[in-house]
């Protein structure tokens, strides 16, 4: 028994170095209109027309290990007059795709995008409600969505909406919970099927406004992930 305890204690530091817990806004590379708001929050866009901002986590992560993103989204206070929403992007380089209705991942190949869309673009098949969807490889039309679009109640209420994105590499399952409810789930071998066997990706978050506007923030609660052992050279579009 004592031996087992000793073994556990010896193994503990090894296990702990695999998965890191980070929670600082300083660890993101900001582009466009994104600015640090306070210790916890980044304002991706101010409430003005035709703004776009991005925040990329500075280190690439290893998708062969679990990751967990716990953040709050604030999607502004303009409902009818609000746009466009917030998108999460996973991509081998730190490059933002087409923004605005493209949610920051349009045109990026290979990529995985999770969108929290607050503006109905008819030509992309957006439902009238605010919605959550998972799209891959930069295709933003919902006919190509692999999960969703799932309509949710109005997100543009000025409040913090708790978001939890969890990747389980054993079960090969990506789960998206918003305000305590499961809003998207994807069961797939993301590394093999989407990223061609490359488990090293960057992740970032983007937002934009158009003629309709909102301030849009992300507030970091807890990030748990494994840094990729070999960090790729940073290809930062910085748009």
Kindly state the tokens that stand for 7.
Answer: 């073994």
Q: Does 62 bind Ca ion (CB under 5 A)?
A: no
Q: Does 156 bind Ca ion (CB under 5 A)?
A: yes
With CB under 5 A as the contact rule, the residue among 8, 154, 189, 231 that binds Ca ion is 154
Give the number of residues in contact with Ca ion, rule: CB under 5 A.
9
With CB under 5 A as the contact rule, the residue among 79, 98, 177, 221 that binds Ca ion is 79
Query: CB-wise, 32 or 82, nearer to Ca ion?
Result: 82
Query: CB-wise, 62 or 101, nearer to Ca ion?
Result: 101
Q: How far is the CB of 72 from Ca ion (least distance, A)?
A: 17
- DSSP string for residues in 23-89: --GGGEEEEET-EE-SSSEEEEE-SSTT-EEEEEESS-EETTS-EEEEEEEE--S-STT---EEEEE
Q: Does 217 bind Ca ion (CB under 5 A)?
A: no
Q: Which range touches Ca ion (CB under 5 A), out of 10-18, 19-27, 136-144, 147-155?
A: 147-155
Q: How far is the CB of 165 from Ca ion (least distance, A)?
A: 20
Query: CB-wise, 210 or 232, nearer to Ca ion?
Result: 210
Taking phi over 0 as left and psi of -120 to 50 as alpha, with beta for the rest, 123 belongs to: alpha
CA distance 165 to 177: 6
Query: Distance of alpha carbon 64 from its chain centroid, rounded?
Result: 18
Q: Which range touches Ca ion (CB under 5 A), out of 47-55, 155-163, 209-217, 222-230?
A: 155-163
Measured in residues, the chain has a length of: 239
Site track for Ca ion across 90-129, x = CB under 5 A: ---------------------------xxx-x----x---
CA distance 4 to 16: 18
Shortest CA distance to 193 belongs to which of 110, 72, 77, 128?
Answer: 110
Q: Does 227 bind Ca ion (CB under 5 A)?
A: no
Residues that bind Ca ion (CB under 5 A): 79, 117-119, 121, 126, 130, 154, 156
């Amino acid at each position: 028994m004592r031996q087992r305890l000793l073994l556990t204690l010896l193994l503990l530091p090894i296990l702990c170095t695999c998965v890191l817990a980070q929670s600082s806004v300083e660890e993101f590379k900001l582009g466009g209109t994104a600015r640090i708001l306070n210790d916890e929050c980044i304002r991706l866009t101010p409430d003005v027309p035709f703004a776009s901002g991005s925040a990329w986590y500075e280190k690439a992560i290893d998708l062969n290990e679990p990751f967990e993103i716990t953040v709050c989204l604030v999607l502004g206070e303009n409902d009818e007059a609000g746009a466009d929403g917030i998108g999460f992007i996973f991509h081998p380089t730190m490059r933002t795709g087409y923004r605005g209705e493209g949610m920051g991942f349009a045109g990026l190949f290979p990529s995985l995008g999770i969108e929290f869309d607050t503006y109905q673009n008819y030509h992309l098949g957006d439902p009238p409600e605010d919605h959550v969807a998972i799209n891959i490889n930069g295709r933003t039309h919902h006919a190509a969505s692999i999960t969703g679009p799932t309509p949710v109640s109005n997100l543009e209420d000025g409040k913090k909406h708790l978001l939890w994105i969890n990747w389980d590499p054993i079960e090969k399952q990506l789960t998206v919970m918003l305000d305590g409810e499961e809003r998207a789930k994807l069961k797939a071998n993301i590394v093999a099927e989407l990223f061609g066997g490359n488990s090293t990706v960057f992740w970032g978050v983007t937002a934009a406004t158009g003629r309709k506007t909102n301030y849009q923030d992300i507030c970091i609660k807890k990030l748990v992930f494994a840094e990729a052992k070999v960090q790729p050279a940073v290809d930062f579009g910085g748009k």
